[in-house]
């Protein structure tokens, strides 16, 4: 996805890295399958063309989905597959930077 049109009229752009209004997530239903895939990767020999990190990233991409927060109205757009999204509007109806959670907040 490079652009997503929000129903409020704002265009959500995804054309770079470290976007504060984007998150990738793995559902709880898929989490243990992802763990198993990582375990399988750790127990297989790698060919010379692939590094361990490339295989882990491949597994993450396979099991994860994207989520975007509209910076205009605050709607959360959840990826449901095949480049389709479902929207959820927060009670405030405003952008709250809910996806801009810095990992160092939890240290």
Going from N- to C-terminal start, the domains of the chain cover: 1-26+66-107, 27-63
Element (H, E) at 46: none
For residue 49, the tally of other CB atoms under 10 A from its CB is 6
Whether residue 48 is predicted with pLDDT greater than 60 in this model: the reply is no
User: What's the average model confidence in pLDDT over 35-59?
Assistant: 80
User: What's the average model confidence in pLDDT over 82-90?
Assistant: 92
Phi, psi of 85 (to 5 degrees): -135, 150
Q: For residue 65, give every residue at least 6 positions away whose Cβ sits within 8 Å of its Cβ, in sequence order, or none.
A: 24, 25, 26, 27, 78, 79, 80, 81
Q: pLDDT, tens digit, for every residue of 17-37?
A: 889 999 999 999 999 999 998
């Amino acid at each position: 996805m490079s652009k997503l049109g929000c129903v409020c009229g704002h265009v959500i752009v995804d054309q770079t890295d470290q976007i504060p209004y984007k998150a990738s997530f793995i559902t709880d239903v898929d989490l243990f399958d992802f763990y198993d895939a990582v375990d399988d990767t750790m127990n297989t020999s790698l060919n010379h063309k692939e590094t361990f990190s490339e295989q882990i990233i491949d597994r993450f991409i396979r099991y994860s989905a994207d989520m975007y927060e509209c910076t205009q109205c605050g709607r959360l757009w959840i990826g449901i597959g095949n480049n389709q999204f479902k929207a959820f509007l927060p009670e405030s109806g405003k952008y709250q930077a809910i996806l801009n959670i810095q990992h160092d907040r939890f240290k």
